[in-house]
A and B are shown apart, each in its own frame.
Chain A
Amino acid sequence: MERDASPLTRLDPTRERALVARARVDPLAFGELYDFYLPRIHGFIARRLADGAAAEDLTAMTFERALNAVRRDDFRNDSFGGWLYRVAANAVVDHVRRARRSVPLGLGRRASDTGDPDRDDERRLGDERAERALGAALDRDELRRALARVSGPHRRLLVLRYLDGLSTDELCVVLGCSAATLAVRHHRALRAVRAALVRETSDVA
């Protein structure tokens, strides 16, 4: 049932770790990492921000931080990609938060996403645009509506997995959980979509 969302677009983990270790002193190694991750990170950010210039700024900031990080000898070299996505995701959240005062009412985070009192959690700021992009690319209207009906955390996981194409270890870093927990969360998210799909179908009928 499962499939890797991007089987041909991943660095071999061993090679990636070697590149990261080498990048402490070798610009060519960092260049290779940069070449691989630039389109992914830029795409990740651009799918969340309408402002192209801001997307470039945040992309640049992410790689600047990456450069500084890999050149420290205490950098935890286990999932460089996950680390990059996490920095990028935080940058998006911060950017959206900064821009909040100029966001018209109704375009911010939808309280009905979760139906749960997680108002203090802002991890999903900026995700709405990516969620809409994934929904728009779905073939079936009822599936699109079902995706919109599941809780925010479920939808976020699915967007990161299928729209952004994050690998398991990258998702674990971004979501801050173990692979086992991620597996359970992923399954729950799919189940939630399926349940919403059933409701959509019955509503239509």
Chain B
Amino acid sequence: MWPEDEALDERLIPFPDGRADTDLSALVDALAEAGDRVRTGKEGPAGRFGTELRATLLASYPATSGAPAGPTIDSMQVPIGAVRWTGTRPASATAQRHRTRPIPARWPALAMVAVVALAVVALDGRVFLGGPEPSRAVEAVGAIVERDGERYALVSGAGLQADDLISTAAGGRATLAIGGGEIRLGEAATVRLDRVEGDVVVAQSAGRVWHRVGLAVGTYRVLTADVTWMASGTAFDLDRRPFGSIGDAVRAIGIEHTVRVEGPGVAIDIGEGSIAVVGLDPAGARSVAVGAVTEADLADPWIVRHGRRDVALGFDPGILDGRLAIASREPSPPASADPFVTAGPIEPIVSPPSTAAPPPEPTPQPTATPTPRRTATPTPRPTPKPTPKPTPKPTPKPTPAIATLDLKATGCHGGFAVLGWSMAGAERFDHYQTLRSTGDSIAPAYPPKPPAVAPDRLWTSGRDSLSAIDADLGPGPYVYRTLALDGGDKVLAASSGRRVTVSGVKAQGALGAVVKGATVTVEWAAYGGPDACFGAYKLALSTTDETPSYVEGGEAAWASESQTSTSAVLEALEPGTYHLRLETIRSIDGTWTLVGRTDVATVTIP
């Protein structure tokens, strides 16, 4: 065997006691000599192609790293993954663009482009290196921001900072971009931005707010009095409103992942698809009720609207997966329906509000000015009165940050998953990469964050290469998300996360066998799994091997590509004893993978 194989499990080495097979040795020599004859002297490209390509590639390194520092290569004993970035990230890692079919004659020009890109990055690396996005208002209608004791109309594009207090009027709304996610305030809502970078902290004192936690956020906390809602990479809906004598109550719906709730006497997790109400009695008592969301909850136009917005931004829809399209065709609940009342399991602490929450003073329509502007009336009226709702100003539909791909993922017996996705747009497309995770979901970002990984076998470069098989998986759940990326690995389009469960080889039960003269009729239960997991049936037969297997090198006496086949007839068998086993297999990477198999049946032909 090859020197590298010396440590292999000997049971898998098909040479007993290491004895060589002279026939095979001669075969190996003949093949190797033929290969040597083909390769000799014909390996390298002709002309200047190799030189020009080399120059172009090396020119993309930052000039500062041209002179190697540290130990020489020969003296290095570098463990895998031991080297980490210690300085500025090389510019070309983000600035360089792949060209699917580069034309060698253009290499000098590309080299110049690379040099220019380096200079640009040196001038303002933040633009190319993906520095943290500043916090800002994405949309604001009837909203104000209070900063340093002054009140301003909140306008789209206005920058936000820690300690800003954002309020919306009746009929107003606001969308705040924080850490790659969004905080979306409904009408009559108030939040204070205690911290907007790294670990984000938001205090929510009134109203309904959709929290879509971005990927740039470490820990995300929402404070409602002394109860804290903590999450990471999550979406959840928090509705806080007064309930007469019991004080405020907060209703939360977990949209994606889990939200941790902690407070005096409260320590619970709200899972995806769960609903909880926490009573904030001023006397200090904290009541909690948790249940499952209902279809009516999920059909709430507020939920649907924000779920769609999340998907448009490339986030996972979580519990809303598959419901957003359906919800749009179903009648919406009455506008007056109190969302608290729809949550049946939490009645003990839920009652209709006795008083309406005092809405903040409506403010003038925001202007197009991208910076906060002082309002004409800097202080609110002491006793708010019902005011006519300002006519919502038509706002442009949010433009998706990235396009969407459809992804179909099928978990199979035999330890693999079959993936297929829709075609991405042609503009700037370079390749697809499907991500896999053992976690709850995968962010639509590249490179992936652990536990998500980007297996090489799930990388395809053709725009019409729309399928892949992920193999060698252990049994268990996996989540997949397919990305379309440009040459700089920037995400152009992303699918939703798809969860599959991969299983081990399926036991297909007994193999029935009936002998009649020299004929054997065998029967079995059909595989019954997804078509994507099925390749063929093979009926392995052996007179010597008591556990015959086609995928393990045995002979097949019969085969079928139809999954509905449940019987086969073997005729004109010689007298003797035969061991039979049916295997369900699927081709992966040019080899057969075992999907399922029956028990062995042994028959004797008289």
Interface residues, chain A, with chain B CB atoms under 8 Å away: 1-6, 14-15, 17-19, 21-22, 24-32, 34-35, 38-40, 42-43, 46-47, 52-57, 59-61, 63-65, 67-68, 71-74, 76-78, 83, 86-87, 90-91, 94, 97-98, 116-118, 120-121, 123-124, 133-134, 137-140, 143, 152-153, 156, 158, 161-165, 167-169, 173, 175-177, 179-181, 183-185, 187-188, 190-191, 193-194, 197
**How far is it, in angstroms, between the C-alpha of A43 and the C-alpha of B39 when the chains are bound?**
8
Chain B residues whose C-beta falls within 8 Å of the C-beta of A71 in the assembled complex: 90, 92-93
Given contacts A26-B61, A29-B73, 7 further A-B contacts (CB under 8 A): A64-B57, A68-B489, A137-B35, A161-B35, A169-B4, A175-B589, A179-B4
Which of chain B's residues has its CB closest to A22's CB? B73
A28 to chain B, nearest CB (A): 6
Chain B residues whose C-beta falls within 8 Å of the C-beta of A97 in the assembled complex: 462, 464-465
A49 to chain B, nearest CB (A): 12
- Contact of A21 (CB < 8 Å), options: B37, B76, B489: B76
The answer to whether B101 and A57 have CB atoms under 8 Å apart is: yes
The answer to whether B460 and A134 have CB atoms under 8 Å apart is: no
Say if the beta carbon of B3 comes within 8 Å of chain A: yes
Q: What is the size, in residues, of chain B's interface with A at 8 Å between Cβ atoms? A: 93
Chain B residues whose C-beta falls within 8 Å of the C-beta of A117 in the assembled complex: 535-536, 559, 561, 587
Instruction: Determine the main DSSP class of A at the interface with B.
Output: helix
Given A124-B590, A180-B8; A1-B50 close (CB under 8 Å): no
The answer to whether B4 and A167 have CB atoms under 8 Å apart is: yes
The answer to whether A116 and B587 have CB atoms under 8 Å apart is: yes
- Contact of A190 (CB < 8 Å), options: B27, B33, B53, B83: B27
Which of chain B's residues has its CB closest to A66's CB? B57
Chain B residues whose C-beta falls within 8 Å of the C-beta of A187 in the assembled complex: 14-15, 24
**What are 10 A-B interface contacts by the 8 Å CB criterion?**
A1-B22, A5-B35, A29-B68, A42-B43, A57-B102, A64-B98, A134-B34, A180-B5, A191-B24, A191-B553
Which of chain A's residues has its CB closest to B459's CB? A90
Chain A residues whose C-beta falls within 8 Å of the C-beta of B104 in the assembled complex: 53, 56-57, 60
B347 to chain A, nearest CB (A): 50
Say if the beta carbon of B381 comes within 8 Å of chain A: no
Given A71-B93, A183-B8, A191-B24; A56-B49 close (CB under 8 Å): yes
- Contact of B590 (CB < 8 Å), options: A24, A123, A180: A123
The answer to whether B65 and A183 have CB atoms under 8 Å apart is: no
Say if the beta carbon of B77 comes within 8 Å of chain A: yes
B18 to chain A, nearest CB (A): 10
Given A21-B78, A22-B73, A137-B37; A184-B98 close (CB under 8 Å): no
**How far is it, in angstroms, between the C-alpha of A25 and the C-alpha of B101 when the chains are bound?**
26
The answer to whether B54 and A34 have CB atoms under 8 Å apart is: yes
The answer to whether A61 and B98 have CB atoms under 8 Å apart is: yes
**How far is it, in angstroms, between the C-alpha of A191 and the C-alpha of B23 when the chains are bound?**
9
**How far is it, in angstroms, between the C-alpha of A35 and the C-alpha of B45 when the chains are bound?**
12
Which of chain A's residues has its CB closest to B59's CB? A27
The answer to whether B587 and A118 have CB atoms under 8 Å apart is: yes
Which of chain B's residues has its CB closest to A34's CB? B54
Given A86-B456, A134-B35; A193-B27 close (CB under 8 Å): yes
Given A19-B73, A39-B43, A68-B489; A183-B93 close (CB under 8 Å): no
- Contact of B461 (CB < 8 Å), options: A43, A91, A134: A91
- Contact of A121 (CB < 8 Å), options: B8, B65, B590: B590
- Contact of A17 (CB < 8 Å), options: B5, B36, B57, B78: B78
The answer to whether A73 and B84 have CB atoms under 8 Å apart is: yes
Chain A residues whose C-beta falls within 8 Å of the C-beta of B1 in the assembled complex: 1-2, 183
Say if the beta carbon of B283 comes within 8 Å of chain A: no
Which of chain B's residues has its CB closest to A185's CB? B591
A5 to chain B, nearest CB (A): 5
Chain A residues whose C-beta falls within 8 Å of the C-beta of B489 in the assembled complex: 68
The answer to whether A31 and B54 have CB atoms under 8 Å apart is: yes
Which of chain B's residues has its CB closest to A167's CB? B4
Given A90-B460, A133-B38, A184-B12; A43-B31 close (CB under 8 Å): no
Chain A residues whose C-beta falls within 8 Å of the C-beta of B31 in the assembled complex: 134, 138, 158, 161-162
**How far is it, in angstroms, between the C-alpha of A46 and the C-alpha of B456 when the chains are bound?**
22
Which of chain A's residues has its CB closest to B3's CB? A4
Q: Mark B6-35, 1 if CB is under 8 A from A, else 0.
A: 001100111100001111110111111111
B100 to chain A, nearest CB (A): 6
Which of chain A's residues has its CB closest to B470's CB? A176
Given A90-B461, A137-B38, A165-B39; A57-B28 close (CB under 8 Å): no
Say if the beta carbon of B427 comes within 8 Å of chain A: no
